[in-house]
Amino acid sequence: MRRSYGSGITKVTAVEDVGFDVHRGELVAVMGPSGSGKSTLLLVVGGLERPDAGSVTVAGAELAGLSEEALYRHRRQHIGFVFQNYNLIRTLTAVENVALPAELNGMSYRKAVSEAEEALRAVGVGDLAQRFPDQMSGGQQQRVALARALGGGRRVLLADEPTGALDSHTASGVLDVMARRVADGAAGIVVTHDPSVAARAHRTIHLRDGRIERIGVARAGTVR
Amino acid sequence: MRFLVLASRLARREMAAQRSSSLLVLILITLPVLGITAYLTADASAIASPESRIARELGGADVRVLVEAPEPFAEGVARSRADITTEFGPDSQVAALVKVSATTRAGDREVPTTIHLHDTASPLTEPLYRLLSGKRPASADEVALSEATARRLAVSVGDRVTVAGVDRPLVVSGVQFDPRDIEAAFAVLPDSGELVGPLTAEREASPTLSWLVKIGPQAPPPGTIGTLTVVNKRMVLLESQPSNRSLFFGVFLGSLLEITLIVAAVFATTARRQRRFYALLALSGAGPRQRFGIACAHGLVIGVIAAAIGVAGGVLAALLLRGTLEQATKTRWEQLTVPTGLLGQVVLLAVAATVLSAALVSRSSATRNPAEALHGRESVIGRSRRGLILVGGGLLAVGVTSMVFGLLVRRETFAPLGVLLGVFGGGLLLTVLLPRLLVVGRGMRLPARLAIRDTALAPSRTAALATAIASMIAVATTMTFYLTGMAANPDYKPYVPDAPENAAVFTTRAPVAPDVLGRAAEQLGAPGAIAFREAALSVPEGATPSPVQISSAALGAFSPLTAVVAEDEADELLGRPLSDAERRAFTTGSALALNPGLVADGSVLLKGSLPRTPGNASTPPTFTEVDVRMPALVVADRKFRRAPLLLVTEQVARAHNLEPLSQSYSYLFRSSALPSEAAEDQARATLLEGAEGRVLSGKLLVERGDSRPRVVNLINRLIVPLLVVFCLVIIAMGIGLSTNQLKDDFAVLAAVGAQPGIVRAVASWQAGATAAIGVVFGVAIGGAGAVAMVAGSEARWTVLPLGLTVAAAAAVVLLAAALGRATASRRLPTPRWT
């Protein structure tokens, strides 16, 4: 697929001629220098941007063929995002942040919160359910973000530098959670500069100037 | 100094980075500064210079001497001239100024005109008026008209006009104007002596005589001028003080106070960014005081720029609107006067307001631990706000106490102060109370929960916005409650007419023939004319009696119709026999008050000025104010409601140093229905024609209802909706800025699959919640203030429009929600990944 911004002499092609598959239970790392198109790739795969050419199929749905409404619904049901700066909504408690997609799907508050509490326990922060993001550490916030991304049976995880703001110990814990969820059947794409994160992926796609430079396969045994 | 340079540079950069909020603050501060500058410049320009005022009043003379109109007038002028010459010495120059009323005509047009008769060739009179075109009248068949007269008669220089009382047509030699009143209809005729007689013989002429005197070197020493009333230069200056400036300055201060809150709210919308900015400064080694200084510099820079634009714009506006303003104020500016001292104060106030707004919000951001901000641990949860509780609670307590005190001592003036303090104290307390909203909203719909939580987590912004709204709603509520409440109150004082409702009073210096009175009564639809005499303060022999006034804290002073009547005349004036209690009170020394509002503590306080003590060339006359407290009984009769008439017997009047106006004959006509204006004019003409003596008050004071409903309607229909519109604009502005600050949260919502409509739903809830807080708070404080005011004004009962208030409050909240929804973005932003 291809995605460009601007027009005429200001036209910048962020991603061009990029194609790959990610399967269930597989974690793919995307690496590359700044401006290589990593973030654009995630936006397009997440359905937040539409490609200029080519197609993107996520969880069985060709995104270009979906209406806006269907695209929102598809994202709610199948795709979870994790950001470097956590991006929890500061006015919602941890459990409410996690329950957010379910609520948006029409689930009752009580049921959504109940499920979210379970998801929080699964990532090891069940005791922080009623805290607001400002009352948690970075690692705790990132675990909550992971619970939100993969709660509600979502099977596609898109993460942008998920451990970029964390110390190595906390980062390791977050990666463990991600690895477990992928091992449980999720498909993940993680954008990272960190070779140690990439090392835990099944494959690594190297981007340069919007194109795939090479695809590396991690040694056997990933995801760990 | 170096720090100031650094601080202002940082502030300018921050302004550039926060373009939209900075622009908003600039506009908010600029507008009132521009308005007050334009007003002050126009006001200063409209006020003539002292030299000009002296020239208009005294011409080329040293003093103007006012004398009693002699009778007969024409012959008396020569006598008066001799007196003046005797008083000021034979080497003094003297010019007579005769002023009479007469009708000037040209073709089928006619204008009631004030005719000035004086020696137009005298250097003493030359500076009195300014020529627009032509020349001053020099011969007996010439006249100079004021521009208003010329316009209304549609004549110009060279045309002919006639003046009632002058038996020949007059050629318009010039058009003049009085800069103090360009709409004055006057005409200037050269005084050859022959015109005084015919002109002053007219029944409505009411001639006055004064003298311009240029005192010669051999003038007698001051203090020997006898009983003449002398207007000297100092008095001219004293009498020409500017008027409404304090009112406009008050409005400016009020709006600035309001804008301080709004600007604080605007600053608060960027609080998160500010915290990070100050944290980074701290990392660079800036101490808490320096960071606070930079926060103040931010306000200072915006304030200075805004004030400078406002002042420049205001002066320009005054200049551009000069013609319109001159027309509106009926004056002509001699030059554009920029009141630099006052504008300096305006600039200082505006800058202070901006610095205060910035400091209010940035104080905590700038002085707190930077590590918290940089680590994102900057929650308001659990933060101690003891200082705010103490200050806010204290202000609120003082405000409430002020209202209660006003209520107890029956003084309505305490309530507005209470409202002001209550609003600001309550506003500070809101910043403490709002974070508690975090615990509510569990289980609420997502947009409502997001909006309420954001309201709670941004207490400074919400409190400032809500307080700005509350203050306007409080003012609107107080005005509406007070005026609506008082409108239904027969004791209502502020709009008391000068005579009973549907009553006309005609006063002359000689009795009017019964058949004339009968005709006039018939024309007015009145059963007849009731003769009475008005009371005045007793004065020494020969001096002018001074009319009495009622003194009221709420109203200032006004003159009630105070009738000195016998017992049976009181029956006639009332239109019914006195009750036993009334008759007893009346005959044993009390006044009968037809309006309960005139009576406090069982008596009426009349005020009056004793006659002026004659002054001389260097000392202006003095006035002595006296109070006369007389017991009064309220005549409880709805027929006379709001009529300020006081009835006193001659004995009661004399006992309180009052006496009937000598040579004054008053007739009261009371019709059951309001006569038409045409009937009124007809009756007036009948009376003027038939009255034998000089008419003292030819105006028929037919009270056409009173102005209360109009005033209440104006306030309720115009000012209150205006305040509501301002509220809505504030809400839209604040919500617009705050949703902008929520961009990150909306991006997250986009990422988790929320539909774009959620932005508008959140904005709608946010606007509604902020408006609801402000409205509830404002109605509570404003309502309490109105109740205190109404009770403090000694009203007997109050009607509070509670149903209307609830409906209006709900409407404001719903409108705010709709506005928030309408102004919010229809799209969700794309997430920023890092």
Q: Is B310 helix (H, G, I), strand (E, B) or coil?
A: helix
Question: Which residue in chain A has the smallest CA separation from B446?
Answer: A103
**Chain B residues whose beta carbon lies within 8 Å of the beta carbon of residue A105:** 753
| Contact between A131 and A93 (Cβ < 8 Å) | yes
Question: Which residue in chain B has the smallest CA separation from A86?
Answer: B834
Report the alpha-carbon distance of residue B354 to residue B307 in Å, rounded: 10
What does the pLDDT read at residue B615? 45
Least trusted range by pLDDT, from A30-34, B200-204, B258-262: B200-204
What does the pLDDT read at residue A222? 45
Report which of B574, B598, A217, A160 is spatially closest to residue B586, judged by C-alpha positions.
Answer: B574
What does the pLDDT read at residue A31? 92
Report the alpha-carbon distance of residue B532 to residue B562 in Å, rounded: 10
Which residues on chain B place their C-beta less than 8 Å from a C-beta of chain A? 375-379, 381, 438, 442-444, 446, 449-450, 453-454, 456-457, 744-745, 747-755, 830-831, 833-834
What does the pLDDT read at residue B665? 75
What does the pLDDT read at residue B107? 86
Q: Is the pLDDT of residue B703 over 50?
A: no
- Which is higher by pLDDT, B558 or B455? B455
What does the pLDDT read at residue B172? 92
**Chain B residues whose beta carbon lies within 8 Å of the beta carbon of residue A135:** 377, 379, 381
Highest mean pLDDT of the ranges B183-187, B224-228, B380-384, B714-718: B183-187
- Rounded to the nearest angstrom, the minimum Cα separation between A10 and chain B is 21
- Which is higher by pLDDT, B131 or B620? B131
Interface contact A160-B438, CB threshold 8 A: no
* pLDDT band, very low/low/confident/very high, at B829 (cuts 50, 70, 90): low
User: From the candidates A44, A88, A134, A146, which should be mutated to test the interface with B, based on the most B CB atoms within 10 A?
Assistant: A134
**Chain B residues whose beta carbon lies within 8 Å of the beta carbon of residue A164:** 834
What does the pLDDT read at residue B830? 64
Question: Which residue in chain A has the smallest CA separation from B757?
Answer: A69
User: From the candidates B372, B436, B446, B833, which should be mutated to test the interface with A, based on the most A CB atoms within 10 A?
Assistant: B833
The distance from CA B76 to its chain's CA centroid, rounded to whole angstroms, is 43
Neighbours of B567 (CB within 10 A): 12
Q: Is B262 helix (H, G, I), strand (E, B) or coil?
A: helix
What does the pLDDT read at residue B697? 46
Condensed to tens digits (0 to 9), the pLDDT of residues A180-222 reads: 888 888 899 999 888 888 888 999 999 998 898 888 876 544 4
- Which is higher by pLDDT, B44 or B560? B44
Cβ partners under 8 Å of residue B293, min gap 6: B3, B7
- Can you read off the two tokens belonging to residue B734? 């604040």
Condensed to tens digits (0 to 9), the pLDDT of residues A91-122 reads: 788 998 888 888 877 888 888 889 899 889 88
**Angle, alpha carbons B43-B48-B53 (nearest 5°):** 145
Q: Is the pLDDT of residue B766 over 70?
A: yes
**Chain B residues whose beta carbon lies within 8 Å of the beta carbon of residue A87:** 744, 747-748, 751, 831
Question: Which residue in chain B has the smallest CA separation from A89?
Answer: B745
User: From the candidates A48, A71, A74, A91, which should be mutated to test the interface with B, based on the most B CB atoms within 10 A?
Assistant: A91
Q: Is the pLDDT of residue B113 over 70?
A: yes
The distance from CA B749 to its chain's CA centroid, rounded to whole angstroms, is 53
- Residue A172 CB-density burial (10 A; 0-12 exposed, 13-18 middle, 19+ buried): middle
**Closest Cβ opposite residue B833 in set A73, A76, A83:** A83
- Which is higher by pLDDT, B541 or B130? B130
**Closest Cβ opposite residue A42 in set B744, B747, B833:** B833
Interface contact B453-A133, CB threshold 8 A: no
Across B651-676, average pLDDT: 72
In degrees rounded to 5, what are phi and psi of residue A83? -115, 160
Question: What is the complex's ipTM, to 2 decimals?
Answer: 0.70
- Can you read off the two tokens belonging to residue B595? 């309006």
- The angle, 0 to 180 degrees and rounded to 10, between the axes of the packed helices B340-367 and B271-283 is 70
- Rounded to the nearest angstrom, the minimum Cα separation between B252 and chain A is 38
**Chain A residues whose beta carbon lies within 8 Å of the beta carbon of residue B744:** 87
Residue B805 Cα distances to B219, B419, B484, B780, angstroms: 71, 17, 11, 11
- Rounded to the nearest angstrom, the minimum Cα separation between A101 and chain B is 6
Interface contact A100-B833, CB threshold 8 A: no
Least trusted range by pLDDT, from B248-252, B389-393, B654-658: B248-252
**Chain B residues whose beta carbon lies within 8 Å of the beta carbon of residue A148:** 752
Sign of the torsion formed by the C-alpha atoms of B94, B99, B100 and B106:
positive
Neighbours of A222 (CB within 10 A): 19
- Can you read off the two tokens belonging to residue B46? 């409209």
Report the alpha-carbon distance of residue B195 to residue B122 in Å, rounded: 18
| Contact between B735 and B707 (Cβ < 8 Å) | no
Across B811-820, average pLDDT: 84
* pLDDT band, very low/low/confident/very high, at B618 (cuts 50, 70, 90): very low
- Rounded to the nearest angstrom, the minimum Cα separation between A131 and chain B is 10
Question: Which residue in chain B has the smallest CA separation from A71?
Answer: B753
Name the CA dihedral angle for A13, A14, A17, A23, rounded to a multiple of 10 degrees: -160
Q: Is the pLDDT of residue B360 over 80?
A: no
Q: Name the average pLDDT for chain B.
A: 74
Which residues on chain A place their C-beta less than 8 Å from a C-beta of chain B? 39, 42-43, 46, 48-49, 69, 72-77, 79-81, 83-85, 87-92, 96, 100-101, 103-105, 109-110, 132-135, 138, 148, 160-161, 164, 191
**Closest Cβ opposite residue B833 in set A77, A84, A133:** A84
**Chain A residues whose beta carbon lies within 8 Å of the beta carbon of residue B453:** 91-92
- Which is higher by pLDDT, B775 or B49? B775
Least trusted range by pLDDT, from B445-454, B590-599, B633-642: B633-642
State the architecture of A3-89+151-217 in CATH terms. 3-Layer(aba) Sandwich (3.40)
- Which is higher by pLDDT, B707 or B264? B264
**Closest Cβ opposite residue B457 in set A76, A90, A160:** A90
Across B687-708, average pLDDT: 51
**Chain A residues whose beta carbon lies within 8 Å of the beta carbon of residue B752:** 75-76, 80-81, 100-101, 104, 148
Least trusted range by pLDDT, from A27-41, A106-120, B747-761: B747-761
Residues in chain A: 224
Report which of A158, A164, A149 is spatially closest to residue A197, judged by C-alpha positions.
Answer: A164
Interface contact A89-B748, CB threshold 8 A: yes
- Can you read off the two tokens belonging to residue B387? 């200082």
**Chain A residues whose beta carbon lies within 8 Å of the beta carbon of residue B456:** 91
Question: Which residue in chain B has the smallest CA separation from A134?
Answer: B377
* pLDDT band, very low/low/confident/very high, at B64 (cuts 50, 70, 90): confident
**Closest Cβ opposite residue A87 in set B449, B454, B748:** B748
Residue B629 bridge partners (DSSP): B605
**Chain B residues whose beta carbon lies within 8 Å of the beta carbon of residue A96:** 449
**Closest Cβ opposite residue A91 in set B444, B453, B747:** B453
Interface contact A75-B753, CB threshold 8 A: yes
Sign of the torsion formed by the C-alpha atoms of B673, B679, B685 and B689:
negative
In degrees rounded to 5, what are phi and psi of residue B112? -65, 125
Neighbours of A19 (CB within 10 A): 9
**Chain B residues whose beta carbon lies within 8 Å of the beta carbon of residue A76:** 752-754
Q: Is the pLDDT of residue A54 over 80?
A: yes
Across B488-503, average pLDDT: 48
Highest mean pLDDT of the ranges A146-155, B244-253, B673-682, B823-832: A146-155
H or E element that contains A187? strand A187-191
**Closest Cβ opposite residue B753 in set A83, A104, A132:** A104
| Contact between B43 and B242 (Cβ < 8 Å) | yes
Interface contact B457-A133, CB threshold 8 A: no
Interface contact A133-B376, CB threshold 8 A: yes
How many Cβ pairs closer than 8 A exist between chain A and B?
98
Across B653-677, average pLDDT: 71
Across B91-119, average pLDDT: 85
Condensed to tens digits (0 to 9), the pLDDT of residues B412-425 reads: 778 888 888 898 89
Q: Is B57 helix (H, G, I), strand (E, B) or coil?
A: helix
Residue A188 Cα distances to A68, A75, A104, A116, A138, angstroms: 24, 14, 23, 21, 21
Q: Is the pLDDT of residue B332 over 80?
A: no
Interface contact B747-A87, CB threshold 8 A: yes
In degrees rounded to 5, what are phi and psi of residue B752? -90, 10
The distance from CA B663 to its chain's CA centroid, rounded to whole angstroms, is 37
- Which is higher by pLDDT, B778 or B290? B778
Cβ partners under 8 Å of residue A26, min gap 6: A182, A187, A188, A202, A203, A223
* pLDDT band, very low/low/confident/very high, at B325 (cuts 50, 70, 90): confident
**Closest Cβ opposite residue A48 in set B381, B745, B750:** B750
**Where along chain A do its domains lie?**
3-89+151-217
* pLDDT band, very low/low/confident/very high, at B247 (cuts 50, 70, 90): low
Q: Is the pLDDT of residue B497 over 70?
A: no
**Closest Cβ opposite residue A48 in set B443, B744, B751:** B751
Q: Is the pLDDT of residue A51 over 50?
A: yes
What does the pLDDT read at residue B486? 59
- The angle, 0 to 180 degrees and rounded to 10, between the axes of the packed helices B802-823 and B720-741 is 40
Across A6-18, average pLDDT: 82
What does the pLDDT read at residue B760? 82
Report the alpha-carbon distance of residue A43 to residue B105 in Å, rounded: 87
Question: Which residue in chain B has the smallest CA separation from A108?
Answer: B443
Least trusted range by pLDDT, from A108-117, B182-191, B777-786: B182-191
Highest mean pLDDT of the ranges B74-88, B650-664, B680-694, B708-722: B74-88
- Bond into A223 cis (ω within 30): yes
**Closest Cβ opposite residue A135 in set B381, B456, B744:** B381
What does the pLDDT read at residue B171? 92
